[in-house]
A and B are shown apart, each in its own frame.
Chain A
Amino acid sequence: MMAFNLAFRNLLGAGLRTWLNVIVLSFSFVIIIWTKGLLEGWDRQAKNDMIKWEIGGGQYWHASYDPYDPFTLSDSHGTIPGELAAIANDTSVVPVLIAQGTIFPAGRMQSVLIKGIPPEQKLLALPTEKLVSVDNDIPAIIGSTMAENTKLGEGDYVTLRWRDRNGTFDATEIRISGIFETTVPTVDVGQVWIPMEKLREMMLLPGEATLIIAGEMSGGIPVNEEWVFKDHRTLLADIEQIIKAKSSMGMIIWAILLMLAMLAVFDTQVFSIFRRQKEIGTYVALGMTRGEVVKLFTIEGAMNSVLAAMVGALYGIPLLTLQAVNGIAIPVKSSDYGIAMAEKLYPVYSLGLIAGTVFIVMLVTTIVSYWPSRKIARLNPTEALRGRMQ
């Protein structure tokens, strides 16, 4: 306790030098917590949005389906297994049929994925109620990025061409009945959503689907071998990889920031030991062992991080809380990033994140403070008392 009291007095007594270190170190605290909170918030929001818009409680894929291989699409479809068909309603099981097609907006040709989905479904956030056909035309909904890329607007008609199960090309006009805003590019870019039954009719695949989206309660029910259940872990693996990659970049920034702060602490410690030799000699003369003096100087250095945590909390808590409540506007479009990204990100600051960051910074500061302080153990007290350089 005495060492802490003394260290605190010495630290405050050092005045401006202490406060400069403390302020630099407090920036490290706040920026590390901010960037980690931002990534955590992004991760959480991206996953939630993907669950809400695309994957529900998990998906049953047809055994042949591979989303990264368009050539598998013609073979990856089958009838909905009885176990799932029995519980199917608008919120528990939603079948989706996927086919390749081409649209011709404004005379240009663009490949698309045609996705058939029951208009009455309530499991996904897609506004499929707009797929209810009022005339004999084929209603279609597209995402806002798709609409922007193709210059299609609500009420526009566009030619859609596809190949049915026999390999025969056919074409028809579809009407854009709705454009939705989403943060999930994989339901937006290059996708055209039309009524399930219409697509089955067009593809000559009655009662069939490529994948079946399960609700929270219906995921993982054992079905026949033709269907493979993909849980959240599998379906969110890509996004986790991307977040991980972004975290690695963040780590480099934190490391640089932490290194700069540690450099300041290290420099102060070295300077202190050089400048305070007489004081060190006096401590020894008054009865401290050299080990105790090393401890005192280490605590002094480490206390920079304690003060920095306090100073950081002073401006960091209001600042970070404000951002967590109001969100941070993101200037890039989600489609540019390839993963779900809202226009506003809401950072998430968990207790674990804050406590972990404070612990790591304090630990590193203590090590950096101890390192130069070890020199004290080698000082000759009689020389130190005279303030001679050693």
Chain B
Amino acid sequence: MGSGRFTALNGIDLTVGKGEFAGIIGPSGSGKTTLLNIIGTLDVPSEGRAVILGQSVAGLTPAASASLRKSKLGFIFQSYNLFQVHTVFENVEFPLLLQGIETAKRRQMVLDALEWVGLTDKIKSRPAQLSGGESQRVAIARAMVKRPAIVLADEPTANLDAANSHNILQTMEKLNRELQTTFLFATHDEKVISYVRRKIILLDGKVDRDEIIEKN
């Protein structure tokens, strides 16, 4: 038991532009999830300044940060975090319900999102009836359905086998290209690393390297 403060991030100076497909890479405890949480306005830096889509995270009221997450940010989690009692359709529909989008438009947007991830035949299934790969694709559809500016994915392939990992990474890459959505991954998975076009390598809470990968 320690009573002292733990510094998760220290001296980070980063700018991520629109449409990037970047990975925050580092071993466990390097601070990548904390950085993702700050970018996602779920956490606030104790010092320094984080500006997301022109808004300072520290200056946001709880309602303003919730509003930002509701309309501009999408989240993909390692363990999918799907609502077990809802169907695939309802899970994907949830962010649109929060935005108060009217029924017909909402339905079309959900179907579009499920088409992007190739799950239109599973709309009535419950998460328990899906494989890990399918669950993560539902999570991607849920993150993308509102056409967010940024998608934050925390270890999205950690619970998937290689084939499923490649499949969902290709899906995300395609969405990044077609919709110009910024994707930020927190990962130490080589498969993810092989897809990203920018590697931000964290070590002990500091940026060790920041590399742009040229891809054909």
Residue numbers of A with Cβ under 8 A of B are 2, 5-6, 9-10, 12-14, 278-279, 281-282, 284-292, 381-382, 385
Contact = CB atoms under 8 A, between A and B. Distances in A.
B40 interface: yes
The size bracket of the interface on B is 20 to 34
Given A289-B63, A290-B62, A382-B43, 17 more contacts: A10-B85, A12-B85, A13-B86, A282-B75, A282-B77, A282-B81, A284-B42, A284-B69, A286-B98, A286-B142, A287-B67, A287-B71, A288-B70, A289-B62, A292-B66, A382-B37, A385-B42
B26 interface: no
Contacts of B42: 284-285, 381-382, 385
B84 A286 contact: no
Nearest to B154: A385
A286 B76 CA distance: 10
A288 B63 CA distance: 8
Contacts, number: 64
Main secondary structure of the interface of A (DSSP, over half): helix
A376 to B, nearest CB: 13
B91 to A, nearest CB: 10
Nearest to A279: B83
A14 B62 CA distance: 29
B85 A14 contact: yes
A232 B97 CA distance: 61
B100 interface: yes
Given A2-B98, A284-B42, A289 B85 contact: no
A389 B94 CA distance: 25
B125 to A, nearest CB: 14
30 contacts: A2-B98, A5-B97, A6-B97, A9-B90, A12-B85, A13-B84, A13-B85, A13-B86, A14-B85, A278-B79, A278-B81, A279-B83, A282-B77, A282-B83, A285-B42, A286-B70, A286-B75, A286-B95, A286-B98, A287-B66, A287-B67, A287-B71, A287-B95, A287-B98, A288-B66, A288-B70, A289-B66, A290-B62, A292-B66, A385-B77
Q: Which of B37, B66, B70, B100 is packed against the most chain A CB atoms within 10 Å? A: B66
Given A2-B98, A385-B77, A286 B69 contact: yes
Contacts of B77: 282, 385
Q: Which of B70, B71, B85, B86 is packed against the most chain A CB atoms within 10 Å? A: B85
B86 A9 contact: yes
Contacts of A288: 66, 70, 98
A288 B69 CA distance: 8
B85 A9 contact: yes
A17 B198 CA distance: 48
Interface in B54-110: 62-63, 66-67, 69-71, 75, 77, 79, 81, 83-86, 90, 94-95, 97-100
B135 to A, nearest CB: 13
Q: Which of A278, A281, A282, A292 is packed against the most chain B CB atoms within 10 Å? A: A282
